[in-house]
Amino acid sequence: MAAEPASIVALLDKADAFAAKGEARAAVSFYQAALESAGGLRQLDPGMSTRLRAAQSFIEARLRNFTRALDGAADELDPADVSGSLRLRHALDIVKGSREIYPQQPAALYYPYLAQRQFFERDEFDWHATVEAATAEIRSELIALLADGADFRPYVERSPNRPARDFHGLNDNRAWTALYLWKDGQYVPEVGERCPVTTRTLGKVPLSRIGARTPSVFFSRLEPGAHIPPHTGMLNSRLICHLPLINPPGCWLRVGNETRQWTEGELLIFDDSIEHEARNPTGELRIVLIFDIWRPELSPSERKGITSIFNAIDQFRAVEES
């Protein structure tokens, strides 16, 4: 139907008829169509405006009833099944319309058939306790660097051989800065040698090693009030790990449709190919140690194959630019 008053009235009449017969689902479909059509009109007469408000109220009431009907499904949750309970709760939220679906959207390589998981639980990784146990010593190394005026650089810096594109206002922005121990797969000795505990501890972790690309290991500094806007990372073949070192209460990380707060000394592990953002709403500095690891599902041969893909890309570019 065209978006004109007569067609909207017809949709509303049809919806009212279904509502009178108790066919709420059918009524909602016609009420929604009427509201969508009315959105294209600049002016509505008072009578139609009243009917459209009633249509919206009907839709909202039906959604409340639908949500209440689903609430009982949560009774089937087994408190001991932590991961299963999380999946079921989120599935219910998606059905209710209160939780969006966020797919993996890596910028450089999409590796197929990996589970779409936003956060991974730290106790899924047998090395997590080793890293967390070193938190105090790693923090001491960080504080020594800060005391010496370590050169934290903007996490996003303009490249002279690329068009000037502003990454959500973060280009050369010192609100979010980094101090690297490994950058683009290369060890940074002037920092790493001053952090022997950090370096030794991460030697026990399956870092994602891809030639001149990963790992990236760095202290990530977020200034008071700073916000890292929603974005996605480069690869879905890795996971990002955060070890909070200086963390005023209230700082948070959203990955997809789930938001968590950091707790000092406890790892947060997530898939950064899913849209994510972070904020430090406090008046204090927040610093976490960030490093990337291989997805645990990947076999040794797959890891080698992914590395070969990027080695081939880098070799092609080197020849092209020579």
pLDDT of 182 reads 97
Question: Which tokens in the block code for residue 40?
Answer: 């294209």
Instruction: Report how far residue 293's alpha carbon sits from residue 208's, in angstroms, rounded to the nearest whole number.
Output: 4
pLDDT of 2 reads 42
pLDDT of 72 reads 72
Q: Based on the fold, state whether residues 50 and 170 are members of the same structural domain.
A: no
Q: Based on the fold, state whether residues 197 and 231 are members of the same structural domain.
A: yes
Q: Who wins on pLDDT, 71 or 222?
A: 222
- Amino acid 147 reads A
SS3 228: strand
235: DSSP letter: B
Q: Based on the fold, state whether residues 164 and 217 are members of the same structural domain.
A: yes
pLDDT of 6 reads 64
The C-alpha torsion from 105 through 106 and 111 to 115, rounded to 10°, is: -50
Instruction: Transcribe 5-66 into DSSP letters.
Output: HHHHHHHHHHHHHHHHTT-HHHHHHHHHHHHHHHTT-S---HHHHHHHHHHHHHHHHHHHHH
Q: Based on the fold, state whether residues 86 and 150 are members of the same structural domain.
A: no
Strand ranges (DSSP E) for the chain?
A: 119-120, 153-154, 176-183, 186-187, 217-222, 227-231, 238-246, 252-255, 258-261, 268-270, 276-279, 286-294
pTM attached to this predicted model: 0.82
> Does 112 fall in a domain?
no
Q: Give residue 294's pLDDT band: very low, low, confident or very high (50, 70, 90).
A: very high
Q: What is the pLDDT of residues 254-270, one digit of tens each?
A: 999 999 999 999 999 99
Q: What is the CATH number of the domain that holds 289?
A: 2.60.120.330
Q: Based on the fold, state whether residues 131 and 236 are members of the same structural domain.
A: yes
- For residues 169-196, average pLDDT: 92
Domain that holds residue 256: 119-321
- For residues 211-240, average pLDDT: 95
> Does 113 fall in a domain?
no
> Does 313 fall in a domain?
yes
Query: How many structural domains compose the chain?
Result: 2
Q: Give residue 1's pLDDT band: very low, low, confident or very high (50, 70, 90).
A: very low
Q: Who wins on pLDDT, 214 or 44?
A: 214
Q: Based on the fold, state whether residues 78 and 152 are members of the same structural domain.
A: no
Q: Based on the fold, state whether residues 93 and 187 are members of the same structural domain.
A: no
Contacts 24+ apart (CB under 8 A), 165-169: 167/231, 168/229, 168/230, 168/231, 169/229
Q: Which of 119, 157, 110 lies closest to 242, judged by CA?
A: 119
Q: Give residue 64's pLDDT band: very low, low, confident or very high (50, 70, 90).
A: confident
Which of 99, 128, 163 represents a domain boundary (last residue)? Answer: 99
> Does 21 fall in a domain?
yes
Q: Give residue 45's pLDDT band: very low, low, confident or very high (50, 70, 90).
A: confident
- For residues 48-56, average pLDDT: 91
Most confident region among 1-10, 58-67, 202-211 by mean pLDDT: 202-211
Instruction: Report how far residue 62's alpha carbon sits from residue 68's, in angstroms, rounded to the nearest whole number.
Output: 10
Instruction: Report how far residue 222's alpha carbon sits from residue 236's, in angstroms, rounded to the nearest whole number.
Output: 24
314 within 8 A of 295, measured Cβ to Cβ: no
Q: Who wins on pLDDT, 110 or 73?
A: 110
Which of 49, 65, 99 represents a domain boundary (last residue)? Answer: 99
Which of 36, 67, 99 represents a domain boundary (last residue)? Answer: 99
Q: Which of 234, 221, 232 lies closest to 277, judged by CA?
A: 232
- For residues 215-235, average pLDDT: 96
Q: Based on the fold, state whether residues 278 and 244 are members of the same structural domain.
A: yes
290 within 8 A of 216, measured Cβ to Cβ: yes
Instruction: Report how far residue 103's alpha carbon sits from residue 224's, in angstroms, rounded to the nearest whole number.
Output: 30
* Whether pLDDT at 77 is above 60: yes
Q: Based on the fold, state whether residues 71 and 32 are members of the same structural domain.
A: yes
Q: Who wins on pLDDT, 164 or 303?
A: 303
Q: Give residue 180's pLDDT band: very low, low, confident or very high (50, 70, 90).
A: very high
Question: Which tokens in the block code for residue 282?
Answer: 């406090």
> Does 106 fall in a domain?
no
Q: Based on the fold, state whether residues 171 and 80 are members of the same structural domain.
A: no
Question: Taking all residues of the chain, what is their mean pLDDT, rounded to a whole number?
Answer: 90
Question: What b-and-e string marks burial along 181-212, b requiring 16 or more CB atoms within 10 Å of the CB?
Answer: bbbebeebeebbebbeebbebbeebbbbebbe
pLDDT of 5 reads 57
> Does 170 fall in a domain?
yes
Q: What is the pLDDT of residues 115-172, one digit of tens each?
A: 999 999 999 999 999 999 999 999 999 999 999 999 999 988 776 666 656 666 677 7
Question: Which residues neighbour 168 within 8 Å (Cβ) at sequence distance 6 or greater?
Answer: 229, 230, 231
In Å, how far from its chain's centre is CA 99? 14
Q: Who wins on pLDDT, 321 or 275?
A: 275
> Does 109 fall in a domain?
no
Q: Based on the fold, state whether residues 38 and 95 are members of the same structural domain.
A: yes
> Does 292 fall in a domain?
yes
pLDDT of 273 reads 98
Q: Based on the fold, state whether residues 67 and 202 are members of the same structural domain.
A: no
Instruction: Report how far residue 265's alpha carbon sits from residue 245's, in angstroms, rounded to the nearest whole number.
Output: 7
